Amino acid sequence: MEEKIFNKVGEFQYSSEAFIYKAKLESEGVAVFVRDNHTIDSDPFLSNAIGGVKLFVKAEDYEKAVKIFSEISKFSVDDEGKLIKCPNCGTEKAQLLTTVKNFKSLFSFLFSFLVMALPIYNKYNYKCENCNFEF
């Protein structure tokens, strides 16, 4: 068996999401490798079929990358990477109702994140940390 050099840290439906995380990881000194982003950019409908845009990091950086993910996943961003604003009070502290508490829940969070990217689930995804308004 070959030694596993790269570990997958995340999958994203859109490459714009993937690059937000990539930029953050790189700013923390973690080398990031993106797979399948060109395929998806040329045909977004392929994204689900091939499992989305995938981010890989070196095995030695994996735990650090997961930790960074859990930190930046705390507040939700839209497709352009801007923090989602509460429509009630305007605070940019919208949280996905699924919150990340540990490594294990990070993966279920990422999964639910992908699932909730479907329009049908888009309505009540967020809760404002400031006024508790759900939207």
Instruction: State the residues that interact with Zn ion by CB under 5 A.
Output: 86, 88-89, 91, 128, 130-131, 133
What's the min distance (Å) between Cβ of 23 and Zn ion?
27
What's the min distance (Å) between Cβ of 67 and Zn ion?
28
Encoded tokens for 80: 């352009």
DSSP structure class, residue 52: S
Nearer to Zn ion, 81 or 87 (CB): 87
Nearer to Zn ion, 84 or 86 (CB): 86
> CA–CA separation, 118 vs 111, rounded Å?
12
Nearer to Zn ion, 107 or 124 (CB): 124
> CA–CA separation, 93 vs 85, rounded Å?
7
Q: H or E element: which one contains 55?
A: strand 53-58
What's the min distance (Å) between Cβ of 104 and Zn ion?
29
